[in-house]
Structure 1
Amino acid sequence: MLIDPWLWIALFILIAYTIEAITGFGSIVIALSLGALLLPIPDLMHVLVPLNICMSGFLAWRHRRHIHAPTLLRLILPLMLAGTLLGYVLRPWLGDNLLMLMFGLLVLWFAARELWRLARNHLSVRHPGWLSRGLTLGAGLTHGLFASGGPLLVYALAGTTLDKSQLRATLLTVWFTLNASLTALFLFDGHLLPNLPRIASLLPLLVIGVLLGEFLHHRLNEQRFRQLVYSLLVVTGGLLVVKAGL
């Protein structure tokens, strides 16, 4: 490449956090799916995960009064933490190409499903308890592998009785807890400290992305913008699948 790939990653991070401030979802999924076209997924996770705990921690604390503790402590965290640990252990054994293929398929499924839901104005139906628990464990596994448990966890909680504020605050607490746990593991395995200067240099982009997203939030048609973002993720997921197969 003609320039340092991390300059592109910095741009992707700015885009991802701007989109999250506009729509409320997906900063790591977006940054990782774009970044994985250039660099191995583990290298990206060692930077993106610690970076994310700054925003998720701040927002979880800000909205702490809306956290639904029973759902968080009895359902989500036990299964998600177990799945995340399993994913962390499995990741080095899978290899970069298989990780890219699996992540590309996850992004492709998630984005295509959301586009379908937007097109049909589809309302989520609550899953049986056993299926919600299985999907939650799977969400933890994908979080350990790609720090991207959101697609499966949101699907697992489909039709939940939580209101929008409770769901958002509870999920923010999940991401803070899991990403803080992964960051501690990165510290233990020696991958955090060498990346601290890069993480610190990228922190201002989070602030810029949030401010830019807040500015754009009321100036864009959110549904059309979501369609654009999901379409981008469909293309990106497809490219990751193709690249993994080459």
Structure 2
Amino acid sequence: MLLDPWLWLGLFILLAYTIEAVTGFGSLVIALSLGALILPIPEMMPVVVPLNVLMTGYLVWRNHRHIYWPVLLKLILPLMLLGTAAGYVLRPWLGDDLLKLLFGMLVLWFASRELLRMYRGIKITPHPLMLSRALTFGAGITHGLFASGGPLLVYAIGGIQLDKSRMRATLLVVWLTLNSCLTALFLFDGTLIPSLPRLVLYLPLLVVGVLLGEFLHHRLDEQRFRQVVYGLLVLTGVLLIFKALEGYSGSMLS
């Protein structure tokens, strides 16, 4: 039973939602990056994406007054929706090893950049508008590929002057919208229904993770905790890259 990869994914989901409740970011990135070490990314997405819809739906309802609609409707959502559709179409053509390689590179870039930024105290500066749009579209593609558009999107819009509450609420609407669309696509392509039993089993882990994270949030040094999480993601990204390259070398030898 301890060798069951889906049991381990449950542990990763609990860890991911606990971390998100403490730090406010990364449940899908953490759950998928750890899970991808033992399971194919396409098999996990119909389970973890609907879970995220439930959580973000609740959070959007609680924080709807802080949503900044001009940036959401004019810049982020149209490009993210187009990019997500493109990523969803591309995903079946890439294969699991290439998906793991690309995902590992994304996770490694994101976590290394955040660690460096925290260490050097680097301030985020605005990008030119065309670059922000290109990066936002790219974030949509990464979301369609592995439901993890957050790292690139935060980088794309990092220079926009919004207070913490408005930025958080606005991004929550993005994830709710995109992950709801992905869930609908999983229903149409036939992958959601077989995943429902696991989804139901993991629901209590989501609740426990949020409650545990709320408890820890007031008792941990968040800055130090973020450093540990980013360090874990750097290690995970490296392992994903090596695992993907190992798969490539094995397929070439065969």
Specify if TM > 0.5.
yes
Residue identity in the other structure for 1:240 = L
Q: What is the alpha-carbon distance in structure 1 between the residues aligned to residue 46 and residue 98 of structure 2?
A: 18
The letter of the residue matching 1:96 is: D
Tell me which residue corresponds to 1:119. 119
- 1:41 matched to 2:45: no
Separation of aligned partners in 1, 2:210 and 2:216: 10
Q: Distance in 2 between matches of 1:141 and 1:37?
A: 22
Match of 2:93 in 1: 93
> CA separation in 2, counterparts of 1:56 and 1:121?
30
- Aligned partners of 1:61 and 1:84: how far apart in 2? 23
Match of 1:173 in 2: 173
The match for 1:161 is: 161
Partner of 2:128: 128
3-state SS of 2:127 partner: coil
Alignment-mate amino acid for residue 89 of structure 1: V
Describe the superposition over 1:133-190 as per-residue Cα deviations: whole angstroms up to 9, x where unpaired: 0000000000000000000000001111111111000000000000000000000000
SS of corresponding position for 1:159:
coil
**1:103 shift after superposition:** 0.1
- Tell me the C-alpha RMSD between the 2 structures: 0.8
- 2:70 aligned with 1:78: no
Q: Distance in 2 between matches of 1:125 and 1:145?
A: 28
Whole-angstrom distance in 1 between the partners of 2:94 and 2:3? 29
Q: Aligned partner of 2:165: which letter?
A: S
Residue type of the partner of 2:149? G
The answer as to 2:224 corresponding to 1:224 is: yes
Q: Name the TM-score, length of structure 1 as normaliser.
A: 0.99
- Deviations for 1:10-35, whole angstroms, at most 9, x for unmatched residues? 00000000000000000000000000
Cα distance, 1:3 vs. partner?
2.1
User: What stretches of structure 2 of length at least 5 have no aligned partner?
Assistant: 247-254
Q: In structure 2, what is the Cα distance between the partners aligned to 1:174 and 1:61? A: 13
TM-superposed CA distance for 1:2, in Å, is 5.4
| 2:52 is equivalent to residue 52 of structure 1 | yes
The residue aligned with 2:149 is 149
Q: Are 1:15 and 2:22 counterparts?
A: no
CA distance in 2, matches of 1:158, 1:196: 36
Residue 249 of structure 2 corresponds to which residue in structure 1?
A: none
- For residues 107 and 171 of structure 1, what CA distance do their matches in structure 2 show? 19
Identity %: 71
Normalised by the length of structure 2, the TM-score is 0.96
Q: What's the CA shift string for 1:102-155, capped at 9, x where partnerless? A: 000000000000000110111100111001000000000000000000000000
SS at match of 1:63: helix
State how far apart, in whole Å, the 2-side matches of 1:199 and 1:149 are. Answer: 22
**1:22-33 aligned within 5 A:** 22-33=22-33
Q: Which runs of 4+ in 1 moved over 4 A?
A: none
CA distance in 2 between counterparts of 1:122 and 1:207 reads 35
Partner Cα distance (1:192, 1:93) in 2: 20
Distance 1:109 1:3 in 2: 30
